[in-house]
């Protein structure tokens, strides 16, 4: 017996050795021929198009194995193998395939609600592709779902497919029994005592005369449960709904029974295990006011606040065990939070991945942390926002990677680059500027170094602009912004009711320098030299004289910016004070000063709706030896960027004092990677412009000295992270008597605030 075992083992080893030797013997040989066997309906080129091996190549078993997988992925074959044999001083590879049946035709019977073409688009099975019984089953489910979403709750779908094995074809037939279209007759709610039934019904998207959808109804139940728990009803239970139909099965009636349970209020909160923060510090951020109605969402937010507090100090491995103790007799909920702080975690290595164009140092210089720093989650989150604000990246993912050392972790930053070069051609019509057009070439990440270059040509019946701008955000590798601009702008200007009273040409250049004082506060200086010419004056409507001035000015500005994303802000604020001084020590023949104070705040509300608030006030005054202010330095009220719904001519132009406030409620329509591509906005504007402080009136009305208000809506199109295209319609609420055009359309680029 032992001899027999030995002979068998020896035989297996010998055969394995011979097989291995034979396989290895092919490795040094070249491929002389490639054949494909087993084809009936599939053409050879379909397979050859995916093969990596080719005649003349050296044989490589790994590549052959990879080709087998590629052929199988075509979905046309139930089995794929490869046979290798000696052939003409080399090898021949024969791919042996077993075809699936090919779907010759797909047909539907009994369908009235949907066309056969529509149903073909919805299913996975396709003509001229492989027949797969699993796909057929999935397709039946898809068709049923499609019908049920239209109200056909009784729909039945059956598969009556036939096959012709000899020809290699399958004929797919779906037979559909649609049944009646069933709509919701009513939704009744029982057991509600803590609220009005009407209030609970408002939470439902499942409503009378609508089609019943299971997922929608489940979402409704979640909303009801969350609502109750946010109002102290922690033991809320929703029983299995009762569904009945009328005799004709065209209406369904849904009965929802709610067991509310008792209402709870906040009791005491206690912490244990905390040494880094005192109990008083933790209580300040865990806002749990005694005797206040318990709210589950507020409780969850408080828990998150405590975790964030620790994470911002580097305690990313801290553990929290919270326990809510409900007293069913008193209706009081006490909270005990046990904390295991563990040790501070430090950043070991920082890895940047995904950037193919952008230089590594461009990403790293925006980070507020470095290797060896405490793993402060708050600073890392703000670093992520700073990277978004560059406008170079479509997506930025931040991850924590463990190391072998318990007090260290790696910070991994993975970026997905976006298009930073843009060539745009645009045209539109504005009731103010009439026909407008733009040709713009912009590169916001020049050579991957974070530099910005823009060339702009803007034209229209009222204006013509040429501009070139360059910005280096880190001059000499330091946090020092440098920029230069050259421009030549010509535009018609308003005076009184004449919107084309004169033309103004400004040509010159500017140098910009900016220095961050902290991560949110920055100081900027801009020196500008402009030659300003006023010409083409309509002497019948204006007394403005022709002039040629040189304006040499310095603008100093300090700003505080906490916006999460400058291109698509959802929270944060921006406040700035800028003062422009022309003439005096800077030369030129015009002398004036122009301070501007502005403030914007963005507040997230429900879902992704954002409320934006903005206010701006500015004045301009001359000083000796100048006796007048150049008209182009004064303010116009009305138009796309101040109070929408009015023409410049109606509200008056060339004013020395201006106040503007804007409210916008914006929400996304189309998003991609959490970036709004298309948004809509509702807005309300309020503002006034005056020549003297004693003319200022805070009353709202149609008098020239009073504040003007307007409302409207608009869309924002942002195909990439650059200035958005805005289309707004504004309706003025305080037009002067006799004004026939009460609303205005605006087509512009850039943000209102």
pLDDT-above-70 percentage for the chain: 93
Confidence check: pLDDT of 143 > 50: yes
- Per-residue pLDDT tens digits for 233-270: 999 999 999 999 999 999 999 999 999 999 999 999 99
Per-residue pLDDT at 342: 94
Per-residue pLDDT at 725: 80
Q: Mean pLDDT across the stretch 500-523?
A: 93
Per-residue pLDDT at 422: 73
Say which residue, 719 or 412, is predicted with more confidence: 412
Are 580 and 553 contacting, i.e. CB atoms less than 8 angstroms apart?
A: yes
Q: What Rg value do the Cα atoms of the chain yield, rounded?
A: 36
Confidence check: pLDDT of 561 > 90: yes
Per-residue pLDDT at 428: 55
Q: Mean pLDDT across the stretch 501-525?
A: 94
- The distance from CA 393 to its chain's CA centroid, rounded to whole angstroms, is 12
Confidence check: pLDDT of 271 > 50: yes
Q: Mean pLDDT across the stretch 198-218?
A: 93
Give the Cβ contact number of residue 198 at 10 Å: 9
Say which residue, 507 or 545, is predicted with more confidence: 507
Q: Which of 124, 104, 119, 101 is nearest to 172 (CA)?
A: 104
Per-residue pLDDT at 255: 96
Sequence-separated (6 or more) residues with CB below 8 Å from residue 257: 190, 191, 238, 239, 241, 242
Domains in the chain with CATH codes:
19-99 (3.10.20.310), 102-177 (3.10.20.310), 183-259 (3.10.20.310), 265-340 (3.10.20.310), 346-417 (3.10.20.310), 635-753 (2.40.160.50)
- Per-residue pLDDT tens digits for 437-457: 778 888 989 999 999 999 999
Confidence check: pLDDT of 7 > 80: no
- Per-residue pLDDT tens digits for 78-103: 889 999 998 888 999 999 998 888 89
Q: How confident is the model at residue 424 (pLDDT cuts 50, 70, 90)?
A: low
Confidence check: pLDDT of 5 > 80: no
Q: How confident is the model at residue 494 (pLDDT cuts 50, 70, 90)?
A: confident
Q: Mean pLDDT across the stretch 177-199?
A: 94
DSSP for 470-489, written as a single string: EEESSGGGSS-EEEEEEEEE
Q: What is the pTM of this model?
A: 0.70
Confidence check: pLDDT of 501 > 50: yes
Confidence check: pLDDT of 621 > 60: yes
Q: Which of 403, 398, 351, 346 is nearest to 372 (CA)?
A: 346
Coarse DSSP helix, strand, coil percentages of the chain, rounded to the nearest 5 percent: 20, 45, 35
- Per-residue pLDDT tens digits for 280-320: 999 999 999 999 999 999 999 999 999 999 999 999 999 99
Per-residue pLDDT at 216: 93
Confidence check: pLDDT of 22 > 50: no
Whole-number mean pLDDT of the chain?
90
Confidence check: pLDDT of 604 > 90: yes
**267-276, 426-435, 458-467, range with the lowest pLDDT:** 426-435
With H, G, I as helix, E, B as strand and everything else as coil, classify residue 491: strand
Per-residue pLDDT at 88: 87
Per-residue pLDDT at 154: 92
Q: Mean pLDDT across the stretch 21-26?
A: 51
Confidence check: pLDDT of 478 > 80: yes
Per-residue pLDDT at 11: 47
Say which residue, 6 or 590, is predicted with more confidence: 590
Would you state the torsion angle of the CA atoms of residues 693, 697, 698, 699, taken in this order, to the nearest 10 degrees?
A: 180
């Amino acid at each position: 017996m032992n001899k027999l075992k030995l002979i068998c083992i020896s035989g297996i080893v010998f055969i394995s050795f011979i097989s291995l030797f034979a396989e290895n013997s092919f490795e040094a040989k070249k491929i002389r021929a490639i054949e494909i066997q087993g084809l009936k309906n599939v053409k050879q080129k379909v397979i050859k198009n995916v093969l990596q091996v080719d005649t003349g190549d050296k044989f490589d078993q790994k590549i052959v194995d990879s080709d087998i997988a590629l052929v199988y992925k075509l979905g046309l074959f139930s089995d794929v193998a490869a046979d290798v044999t000696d052939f003409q001083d080399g090898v021949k590879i024969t791919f042996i395939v077993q075809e699936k049946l090919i779907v010759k035709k797909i047909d539907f019977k009994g369908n009235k609600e949907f066309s056969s073409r529509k149903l073909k688009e919805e299913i996975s099975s396709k003509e001229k592709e492989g027949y797969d019984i699993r796909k057929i089953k999935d397709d039946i489910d898809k068709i049923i779902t499609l019908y049920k979403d239209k109200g056909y709750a009784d729909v039945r779908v059956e598969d009556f497919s036939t096959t012709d094995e000899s020809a290699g074809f399958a004929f797919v037939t779906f037979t559909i029994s649609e049944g009646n279209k069933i709509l919701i007759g009513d939704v009744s709610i029982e057991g509600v005592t803590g609220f009005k039934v009407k209030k609970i019904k408002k939470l439902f998207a499942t409503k009378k005369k609508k089609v019943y959808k299971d997922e929608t109804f489940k979402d409704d139940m979640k909303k009801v449960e969350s609502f109750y728990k946010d109002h102290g009803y922690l033991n809320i239970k929703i029983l299995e709904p009762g569904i009945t139909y009328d005799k004709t099965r065209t209406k369904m009636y849904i009965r929802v029974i709610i067991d509310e349970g008792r209402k709870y209020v906040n009791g005491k909160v206690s912490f244990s295990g905390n040494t880094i923060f005192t109990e008083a510090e933790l209580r300040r951020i865990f806002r749990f006011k005694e005797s206040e109605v318990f709210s589950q969402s507020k409780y969850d937010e408080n828990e998150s606040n405590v975790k964030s507090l620790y994470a911002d100090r580097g305690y990313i491995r801290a553990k929290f065990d919270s326990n809510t103790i409900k007293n069913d007799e008193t209706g009081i909920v006490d909270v005990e939070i046990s904390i295991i702080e563990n040790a501070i975690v430090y950043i070991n290595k920082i890895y940047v991945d995904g950037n193919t164009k952008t230089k590594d140092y461009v990403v790293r210089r925006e980070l507020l942390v470095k290797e060896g720093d405490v793993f402060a989650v708050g600073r890392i989150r703000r670093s992520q926002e700073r990277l978004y604000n560059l406008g170079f990246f479509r997506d930025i993912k931040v991850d924590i990677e463990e190391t072998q050392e318990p007090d260290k972790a790696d910070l991994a930053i993975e970026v997905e680059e976006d298009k930073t070069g843009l060539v745009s051609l645009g045209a539109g019509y504005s009731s103010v500027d009439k026909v407008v057009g733009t040709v713009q070439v912009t590169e916001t990440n020049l050579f991957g170094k974070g530099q910005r270059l823009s060339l702009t040509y803007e034209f229209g019946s009222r204006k013509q602009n040429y501009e070139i701008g360059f910005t280096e955000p880190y001059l000499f590798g330091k946090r020092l912004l440098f920029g230069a601009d050259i421009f030549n702008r010509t535009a018609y200007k308003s005076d009184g009711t004449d919107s084309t009273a004169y033309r103004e040409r400004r040509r010159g250049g500017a140098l910009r320098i900016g220095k961050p004082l902290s991560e949110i506060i920055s100081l900027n200086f801009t020196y500008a030299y402009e030659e300003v010419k006023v010409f083409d004056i309509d002497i019948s409507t204006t007394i403005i004289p022709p002039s040629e001035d040189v304006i040499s000015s310095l603008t100093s500005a300090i700003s505080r910016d906490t916006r999460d994303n400058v291109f698509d802000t959802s929270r944060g604020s921006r406040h700035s004070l800028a003062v422009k001084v022309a003439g005096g020590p800077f030369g030129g023949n015009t002398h004036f000063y122009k301070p501007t104070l502005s403030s914007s705040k963005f507040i997230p509300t429900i879902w992704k709706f954002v409320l934006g608030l903005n206010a701006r006030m500015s004045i301009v005054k001359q000083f000796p030896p100048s006796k007048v202010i150049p008209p182009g330095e004064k303010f116009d009220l009305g138009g796309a960027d101040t109070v929408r719904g009015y023409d410049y001519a109606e509200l008056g132009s060339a004013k020395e004092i201006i106040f503007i406030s804007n409210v916008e409620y914006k929400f996304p329509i189309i998003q991609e990677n959490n970036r709004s591509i298309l948004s809509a906005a509702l807005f309300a504007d309020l503002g006034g412009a005056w020549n003297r402080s004693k003319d200022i009136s805070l009353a709202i009305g149609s008098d020239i000295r009073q504040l003007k208000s307007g409302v409207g809506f608009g869309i924002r199109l942002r195909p990439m992270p650059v200035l958005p295209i805005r289309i707004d319609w504004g309706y003025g609420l305080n037009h002067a008597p006799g004004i026939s055009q009460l609303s205005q359309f605006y087509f512009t680029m850039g943000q209102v605030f």
